Amino acid sequence: MSDQTITAHPPSSAKPARRPVKGIWRQGWQRFARSRTGMLGLILVLLVVATAVVGPFVAPFDPQDQSPMIDPGAKAPPSWVHPLGTDRMGYDVASRVIYGAPTALAVGLGAMSIASLIGVLVGGFAGYRGGTTDEVLMRFTDFFLVIPMFVVILAVIRLLGVAVVNTPFESVPYLNLGVIILLIGVFSWAPIARMTRAEFLRLKNQEFVEAARCIGATSGDILFRHILPNALPSLVVIVALGIGGAVLAEAMIGFLGFGDPAAVSWGQLLYFNYEALKVAPWASLSPGVAIFITVLGFNLLADGLTDAFNPRAKR
């Protein structure tokens, strides 16, 4: 301990005069930049994002284009025209993988936005109010933690497929995908709520929050100016981790054949091609690697963010 305090006191009292001004975020970024795993994660995530944004313009084939079926045929090995080969149904694998990126990101970001919204509201309310409110909300949260998410999602998708037939909903584009995103979100908020509650509980009795109360700041001021910004770093970490989890969950749903037939998703590509794994390994390995890179990227990013914002947690 005293190792740090040595620079904290007398000899360094002039330190502020030399160092440029730094906020917690800037400081966090500097620490993040020094974390190798974090930077690797960031690079991987940026790679996926770039693919999602630029990919559709540079992809050689349309995702629904089955013309390669004729030449060079289905399950063709990689070639100049088809760098990752073609799959069982004659699609160009490279193009399908590229078009899968926006879907994966939509699932990850969409589901986690929903989860964060619910989680922060429920957890924040529980943590700030405390007492019975806290008790009730946290039991509700526990309930969501113990529900087997996949069983519910698969059941809902199957029922939905039957229920929308001959209704106006049938024409809603990407309805299945939207429902998957919504359901993953609805089943992932519980950890976020728990983390938010813990942070709010910790922060609401901190002296600087009491100082604000002494000054006469309103509850809104205290919540949104003092508590939430200080809780954000921990939340950012758990949300980044959650994005990877959501991408993986969607891939699993797709792999089980419950994905959105209209959307191009890596899980579905695996589902279509795993039977031909021995004949055309490229067709199932490529989406697999894409899933791996994305999930790994977000997990490493979360790891780096932990390093950046809770430097003491690891030492």
Partner 1 sequence: MIEPIPNLRQGVTPRPLLTVDGLVKSYPLRRRGLFRQTVTGEIRAVNDISFSVAAGETLSIVGESGCGKTTAARAILHLVEPTAGAIRLGDTDIRATFAEDRRPDVLALRRQMQYVFQDPYLSLNPRWSVRQILTEPLRVHGHAPKEDWDATVESLLERVGLPPDYADRYPHEFSGGQRQRIGIARALAVEPRLLICDEPVSSLDVSVRAQVLNLLADLQEDLGLSYLYISHDLSSVRFLSNRIAVMYLGNLVEIGEVDEIFARPRHHYTAALISAIPVPDPSNQAQRQAIQGEVPSVVRRPSGCVFHTRCPAALPVCSQQIPPLSAPDGTHAFACHNPR
Partner 2 sequence: MSSLATAKPTAAMSIDDRSMLTPPVHDLVRVENLRIQFPPWNAPVRIIEDVSFQVRAGETMGIVGESGSGKTLSSLAILNLLPPPARITGGRIMFDGEDLAAKSQGEMQKLRGRRLAMVFQNPGYSLNPLMTVGAQLGEILKVHEKMPRSMALQRVEELFRLVGITDPGSRLSQYPHEMSGGMKQRVCIARALLCNPALVLADEPTTALDVTIQAQILDLFEDLKARFGMSMIFVTHDMGVVARIADRITVMYAGQVCETGDKHAIFARPSHPYTQALLASTPRIDRRYAIDGEGRRERLPTVGRAVAPGQSLGGGCRFAGRCPEAAPECSRLVPQAAAIEPGRVVHCLKRGSAGVASHD
14, 21, 58, 165: residue in contact with partner 2 (rule CB under 8 A) = 14
CA-to-CA separations, 184 to 26, 104, 237, 249, in angstroms, rounded: 33, 13, 18, 8
11: contact with partner 2 by CB under 8 A: yes
Q: Which of partner 1, partner 2, none lies near 36, with the C-beta cut-off 5 to 8 A by kind?
A: none
12: contact with partner 1 by CB under 8 A: yes
Burial class (CB in 10 A: 0-12, 13-18, 19+), 280: buried
7: contact with partner 2 by CB under 8 A: yes
In a 3-state reduction of DSSP, which class is residue 92?
strand
Distance between alpha carbon 104 and the CA centroid of its chain, in Å? 9
Q: Which is nearer to partner 1, 19 or 278 (CB)?
A: 19
The label of the residue with tokens 């088809």 reads 82
| Six-digit token string for 85 | 């080969």
Options 14-22, 51-59, 240-248, 286-294: segment touching partner 1 (CB under 8 A): 14-22
Instruction: Identify the CA nearest to 309 among candidates 28, 30, 27.
Output: 28
208: contact with partner 1 by CB under 8 A: yes
Q: Which is nearer to partner 1, 112 or 236 (CB)?
A: 236
The label of the residue with tokens 């981790």 reads 241
At position 292, the amino acid (one-letter code) is F
d(CA 219, CA 223): 6
Binding map of partner 1 across residues 223-262, x = CB under 8 A, - = no contact: --xx--xx--------------------------------
In the complex, the smallest distance separating the C-beta of residue 150 from partner 1, rounded to whole angstroms, is: 32
Q: Which is nearer to partner 2, 5 or 205 (CB)?
A: 5
d(CA 286, CA 78): 11
Distance between alpha carbon 286 and the CA centroid of its chain, in Å? 21
314: contact with partner 2 by CB under 8 A: no
Say how many Å lie between the first and final Cα of the chain, rounded.
12
Options 73-81, 165-173, 202-210, 283-291: segment touching partner 1 (CB under 8 A): 202-210
Contact footprint for partner 1 (CB under 8 A): 8-10, 12-13, 15-16, 19, 21-24, 27, 206-208, 210-218, 221, 225-226, 229-230
Contact footprint for partner 2 (CB under 8 A): 1-3, 5-15, 17-18
